[in-house]
A and B are shown apart, each in its own frame.
Chain A
Amino acid sequence: MNALVLDPIAWTDVGAVTDVPVRGARRVPTPTGDVAIFRTGDGQVFALVDRCPHKGGPLSNGIVHGHAVACPLHNWSISLATGHPLGADAGKGCAPTVPLQIRDGRIYLGQP
């Protein structure tokens, strides 16, 4: 049998996938700032630190399209998978990704 391997990341159950609107986002406050959880049109879930690399706009308030979010402040398009700006603003910083797992329809976040 397998030896028991301790998972080095502490996972926290922050809610059901269905609590996040499709093509929308919710935020989860943490001691180091908010984490934004996105759900895309095709049902995938992503987590980023909720701060736009441009001027700190709260990405959880943006419009989600494809696998990107349009920042609510100045409309940069940020990749949900990597947190990097896309298109004209590529290469200008990034919103760090946050470890995330989906188990049985629940969202588990690791410490950002």
Chain B
Amino acid sequence: MTREKLVVIGNGMAGCRAVQEVLKRDPDRYEITIFGAEPRVNYDRIMLSPVLAGEKAFEDIVINDEAWYAQNRITLHTGCTVEGIDLTQRVIQVAGQQAWPYDKLILATGSEPIRLPLPGSDLSGVVTFRDLDDVGAMITASANPDSRAVVIGGGLLGIEAAYGLSKRGMKATVVHLMDVLMERQLDASASFLLTEALAQKGVETVLEAQSEAIEGKDGKVTGLRLKDGRVLPCDLLVMAVGIRPSAGLAKAAGLEVNRGVVVDDGLRTSDPAVFAIGECVEHRGQCYGLVAPIWDMCRTLGEALTAGTGAYEGSALSTRLKVSGVDVFSAGKHLGGEGCEDIVFRDAGRGVYKRIVLEDGKVAGAVLFGDAADGAWYFDLMRSGQPVGDIRETLVFGQAATEGLRGLDPSAAVAAMADTAEVCGCNGVCKGEIVNAITGQGLTTLETVRAVTKASASCGTCTPLVEKLLKLSLGDAFQAQSGPKPVCGCTGHGHDEVRRRIVAEDLRSIPAAMQALEWATPDGCSTCRPALNYYLLCAWPEGYRDDRQSRFINERVHANIQKDGTYSVVPRMWGGVTSAAELRAIADVVDKFAIPTVKCTGGQRIDLLGVKKDDLPAVWSDLNAAGMVSGHAYGKALRTVKTCVGTDWCRFGTQDSTGLGVRLEKFMWGSWTPAKVKLGISGCPRNCSEATCKDIGVICVDSGYEIHVGGAAGLHIRGTEILTKVATEEEAIWTICAVAQSYRETAWYLERIYKWMDRLGIEWIRAQVADPADRKALYDRFAYSQRFYRIDPWAERVAGRDSHEFNPLSRRMEMAPA
């Protein structure tokens, strides 16, 4: 009996697996022929990364050797590209051969790597990463001493390429368009950790980099030029920017093709005798780039070609990165979204970050970094769609921690936990230790349990469990306690702890702080981000890169937003003193930009209200030209220094209060503070500049200067308290700057000076500045920070910085469509 002719185009992962699935079910049904363009037997493509890294040899990754083809009576044509399909004659065309007939045809042509059409992309040394020949080319290039590689594309493939090349001794750099590595699998937090882990392995990353051209000499690549002008020198350039389904052959034959070859749930193309599987396929609008869906497709196709049944319904996806020692797993809706909740766990000590995304009480996705052992478990939970409400509390700790408790009510579950069960993953504390500490040492509060056992002292995620253990051990005697008020819902840490650890652990960016402090959300919220930004800026004046997106709009655009979305502009008027030239310039600006309101503020200066956002840089430019700078009326910063006329004119004046105010303002302006800071300097106790209700005030007297702190006249009315009295203007300035610096370093974000004083006490503040050496040290730190911050932000914006804040993205939709 003649067997039906089954022809497969593509000797890759999908083609061979499909044949295996058919043989498994009905070994004698078909006469099978496989055509493969690559000159070799079927191998495991995903293991090319370890081959490149030198961790495996080609022989290790062969899936089916020649003997397999022979045993199963399969005719294999290697190095043989199929060039055409005649659907009516049911034959395929191969160069230099007769037309080859089929009864059933399987397309498994995979995909092609995308080559960016950059100038210079045809230079020698520019390669992609798809098959063994590419790997060979890369290994050859890496053999030259001191050679460098640039990989365009920070996805899975690009990172594995760079890691492999770096292991082969090349200096490798990954250049990525986005600001997140593997953005289709990871979130910003995991990407941050990955960047660090790669750096430790010698792979550098350049994010948000747009490639412009490939540079070369004598036909060989020498570097990659970026849009911003940077040139990254290299001897090898790998493009790993994505793949495109190889559907050209199918399209030319007249099969229905969109992005990929369109197939139905039976994996049949628009021609009933032709099937397609693998990366060349588009199924229900989806193209895949991973092997798991391919295995699913091949199983269905095996059914279809033998029993005539089976349907493929799409696949859920999960990814693991194959870089030794870097454990990364991602699946499903890893970024969350509308209606989703995140459970985040961070263990700074072990460099672990886990984010489990829940939707409707079920696992909808996961990102794991540093410890991906439970990846498969989360993936199972996700695919099975089982509700996880009852295991929610322990879910993030993984399968082992959860299984023991499943199905039990929470307190019974805690009672049922083994003494050896781990409660606090961060510090490795188990139930027995905690219970022993509670009963043995008579502990009654969460705080003391934390202090004694360290349980729940790090990320705080296990706090509810520890509280349950307290309750279990103490019964009604236990009342839930609270520690210091956390910064916000994203963390269990209070402000002091955050500030202390930023300095102690040398944390220098928001992602670094969030990881080390085990933040419970992926990128914080509008409460904690501005606070972290301030704490970092205060701790590292010289190097910290301000995070604009963590600032309230007023501080981002250096003006105050008004109820109608326009802005107000308040230039500095040093000590409340102005001149004809300044007033004239203000008047001109008002006319030129048709500014609707000009008003004297309660802070001795002039407010221009109702300025359009787009006009801000031009308004500032004109004010700058007349010598005026930003008044920071918008900032958690030094605001006004109100003065009275003092000895210059007043018959009661005892000191030069105006002059001191101007000196102070000129020295202190531009400094960022936890909340706004206002100063008042009065020339005598009549106090015409209201110094005794300012954050810091000075009352001049015959014998010197009384320094006052902690006043307010806003939501609360508070008179100041006298801090100290000094004899000279110099000492007054040192003391005021020292107090300001002490406030900058110890207050909580948004805590005004009077609240800071309520919390720590006037005696404490006095003690900070009493010793001249301490006072000098504080003053010096203030002065040092001012070297970086006494800069007019308006002038910077006029010069073009952050211009995107002021210009619309596009004006192309301004007109109504024709």
Residues of A within 8 A of B (CB): 1-2, 10, 12-15, 18-24, 26-31, 34-35, 37, 41-44, 55-58, 61-67, 70, 72-73, 75, 77, 79, 81-82, 105, 107, 109, 111
Contacts and interface: CB of A to CB of B under 8 A. Distances in A.
A30 B180 CA distance: 31
B177 to A, nearest CB: 7
Contact of A66 (B525, B561, B565): B525
B370 to A, nearest CB: 19
Contacts, number: 129
Interface string B788-818: 0000000000000000100011111111110
A18 B526 contact: no
Given A41-B188, A55-B563, A57-B565, A65 B177 contact: no
A67 B256 contact: no
B639 interface: no
Interface string B677-700: 000000000000000000000000
Interface residues of B, number: 48
B522 A42 contact: yes
B523 A41 contact: yes
Nearest to A107: B809
A13 B552 CA distance: 29
Contact of A63 (B552, B810, B811): B552
Contact of A35 (B179, B254, B813): B813
B526 A65 contact: yes
Contacts of A13: 810, 812
Contacts of A12: 810, 812-813
Contacts of B572: none
B550 interface: yes
Contacts of B521: 66
B338 A82 contact: yes
B436 interface: no
A82 B199 CA distance: 38
Contacts of A62: 526, 553
Among A1, A2, A42, max chain B CB count under 10 A is at A42
Contact of B529 (A57, A61, A63, A72): A63
B338 A79 contact: yes
A28 B804 CA distance: 12
A31 B815 contact: yes
Contacts of B177: 18, 105
B808 A28 contact: yes
Q: Which 9 A-B pairs have the closest CB atoms?
A: A26-B809, A70-B526, A14-B810, A23-B549, A81-B338, A41-B523, A61-B553, A63-B526, A58-B565
B183 interface: yes
Given A21-B548, A41-B187, A28 B809 contact: yes
Nearest to A74: B563
Contacts of B526: 62-63, 65, 70, 75, 77
Nearest to A35: B813
A14 B522 contact: no
Interface of B: 177-180, 183, 187-188, 208, 210, 254, 256, 258, 335-338, 521-526, 529-530, 548-554, 556-557, 561, 563-565, 804, 808-817
A42 B187 contact: yes
A29 B813 contact: yes
Contacts of B812: 12-14, 28
Contacts of B804: 19, 21, 26
Nearest to B490: A65
Contact of B810 (A15, A56, A66): A15
A67 B336 contact: yes
A41 B192 CA distance: 12
A98 to B, nearest CB: 10
Contacts of A2: 256, 258
Given A1-B256, A20-B809, A21-B804, A66 B552 contact: no
Given A23-B523, A42-B522, A75-B526, A29 B811 contact: yes
B210 A18 contact: yes
A28 B810 contact: yes
Given A14-B809, A19-B804, A67 B337 contact: yes
Given A28-B813, A65-B523, 8 more contacts: A2-B258, A14-B812, A18-B208, A31-B816, A43-B183, A57-B565, A107-B809, A111-B813
A67 B808 contact: no
B637 to A, nearest CB: 18
B180 A43 contact: yes
A65 B529 contact: yes
A85 B546 CA distance: 29
Contacts of A61: 553, 556-557, 561, 565
A24 B338 CA distance: 18
B565 A56 contact: yes
Contacts of B180: 41-43
A57 B564 CA distance: 7
B337 A81 contact: yes
A31 B811 CA distance: 10
A33 to B, nearest CB: 11
A23 B524 CA distance: 11
A58 to B, nearest CB: 4
Contacts of B188: 41-42
Nearest to B551: A63
A41 B556 CA distance: 18
B709 to A, nearest CB: 29
